[in-house]
Structure 1
Amino acid sequence: MFSQLVQRFSKASLGALLLLLVVSRIFVYQVSPLRNPTFKPMSANAGSLVWWLQGVGEGHWIMGASILAFLFATNLTLICWQWYQSLTINLPRQNAWLISFLLCIATWVLIFRGLWLAFVHYLLDQWLID
């Protein structure tokens, strides 16, 4: 019963995170300086030209990308771990939990780094960070 609740919550939260990703992507596109016809790329003036976002620095954009990557990596790792646990046969092995935990951590790190690089690359493409 509890595992089914966790599976449903993981899938529902993945849907919510995908919606958040789409909204974030649209927001970044809308506030991108590339939408302004007077913007000149390669002029060391990256950042949003929208007046109410003038105070938002590169660190804030990178922190937002990091938070989004952290949430996605955690959610995808939990879904992968549940899938992996359903496939494994409960054989009595020494250090089975340690191996499973290390595999889970390695999966999270790989997913996080990949997503973080993709999100930061998108911010670079939109000229919100230099």
Structure 2
Amino acid sequence: MFSQLVQRFSKASLGALLLLLVVSRIFVYQVSPLRNPTFTPMSANAGSLVWWLQGVGEGHWIMGASILAFLFATNLTLICWQWYQSLTINLPRQNAWLISFLLCIATWVLIFRGLWLAFVHYLLDQWLID
């Protein structure tokens, strides 16, 4: 019962995170300085030219990318862990929980790092960070 609830929640939250990703991507595209015809790349003036986002620095954009990558990595790791648990046979092995835990942590780190690099690369492409 509890595992089914977690499985449904993780899939529903993945859908919500995908929607958040699409909205974030559209938002970043809309506030990108590349949309301004007077913007010249390679002039050390990255950042949004929208007046109400003038105070948002590079650290804020990177923190947003980190939060989004953290949420996605946690959700995808939970889904992968549930899938892995359904495939494994529950044989009594010594330190099986430790191996499973370390595999879960390694999966999270790899997913987080890949997503973070992809999100920061997109911010660099849009000239919101230098």
Q: TM-score range by the shorter chain?
A: over 0.9
* Structure 1 residue 45, shift from structure 2 partner: 0.1
* Structure 1 residue 49, shift from structure 2 partner: 0.1
* Structure 1 residue 100, shift from structure 2 partner: 0.1
* Structure 1 residue 109, shift from structure 2 partner: 0.1
* Structure 1 residue 89, shift from structure 2 partner: 0.2
Q: Distance in 1 between matches of 2:25 and 2:12?
A: 20
Q: Which runs of 5+ in 1 are unaligned?
A: none
* Structure 1 residue 43, shift from structure 2 partner: 0.2
**Which stretches of structure 1, 4 residues or longer, exceed 4 Å deviation after superposition?**
none
What do residues 84-127 of structure 1 show as CA deviations (whole Å, max 9, x unaligned)?
Answer: 00000000000000000000000000000000000000000000
What do residues 31-53 of structure 1 show as CA deviations (whole Å, max 9, x unaligned)?
Answer: 00000000000000000000000
TM-score (norm 2): 1.00
* Structure 1 residue 30, shift from structure 2 partner: 0.1
What do residues 52-106 of structure 1 show as CA deviations (whole Å, max 9, x unaligned)?
Answer: 0000000000000000000000000000000000000000000000000000000
* Structure 1 residue 6, shift from structure 2 partner: 0.3
Q: Distance in 2 between matches of 1:45 and 1:92?
A: 60
How many residues are paired up? 130
Percent identity of equivalent pairs:
99
* Structure 1 residue 4, shift from structure 2 partner: 0.4
Q: Distance in 2 between matches of 1:52 and 1:31?
A: 10
Q: Distance in 1 between matches of 2:92 and 2:11?
A: 30
What do residues 6-27 of structure 1 show as CA deviations (whole Å, max 9, x unaligned)?
Answer: 0000000000000000000000
Q: Distance in 2 between matches of 1:15 and 1:4?
A: 17
Q: Which runs of 5+ in 2 are unaligned?
A: none
TM-score (norm 1): 1.00
